[in-house]
Amino acid sequence: MYVGRIVSVARTVDGRLCAAYRVSSRSFPNRSAVVGKDKVSIVPKPGHESDVMKNPYIAYNCVRIVRDGDVAVVTNGSQTDVIAEKIENGMPIRDAVVLSSLMLDYEKDAYNTPRISAVVDKDTGAGWLGVVRHDGLQVERISLEFGRVYYVATYEENTVCGARCVEFPVQSAEEACDFILGKDVFAERENPVTAVAAMAEDYSFNLTAKDAEV
């Protein structure tokens, strides 16, 4: 089943928060994730830079770490920066996700692609999932259980539902990337391209990216 992009929030068995993102694409598979300081960017691979002229939505920051390393914001588009900056400036997480989703709305491409967002907060232990579609907006605080991951996708599975979760037998950001690329329920989600994970550490988050095996 093709569900497009996926964001997730999780708590490991030993209690660490994790937010992860997977790019799945049928039209623009030649992309990769580049890890920088407190952020990760989705960019075209060398030789495919002109793809951004065909679709302006395919390159963006997908992860930002803010509030002195306490909060990880993970999304499928330019709302990453908007949400992150509002949280950094003191806005509550729910309000930041809601307002940014309303401001930017769904993507105006051929598929009316929803914007999906995930946030984890080490200070409160909370996780948030949000989606804005052409027919609605939903933002929910997720009660993160130990060893469980909760997710929402751009297509098919594009409503936030507490029951949309699976076991999360992951110990590192690297394992989180492998998991969302092709383990458990995600093995049945087609066209993986690249994955990014933000795993909580004592200070800030460990950011890791991995491309899908071709």
CA nearest to 208, candidates 166, 178, 170: 178
| 48 vs 107: CA distance, rounded Å | 22
Ranges of each domain in the chain: 6-211
pTM of the entire predicted model: 0.97
- The fold of 6-211 is Glutamine Phosphoribosylpyrophosphate, subunit 1, domain 1 (3.60.20)
What's the first-to-final CA gap in the chain, in angstroms? Answer: 18
Of 35-39, 76-80, 108-112, the least confident: 108-112
Predicted confidence band of residue 67 (pLDDT cuts 50, 70, 90): very high
Q: 């590192």: which residue's tokens?
A: 172
The predicted-structure confidence for 141-182, as pLDDT tens digits, reads as follows: 999 999 999 999 999 999 998 889 999 999 999 999 999 999
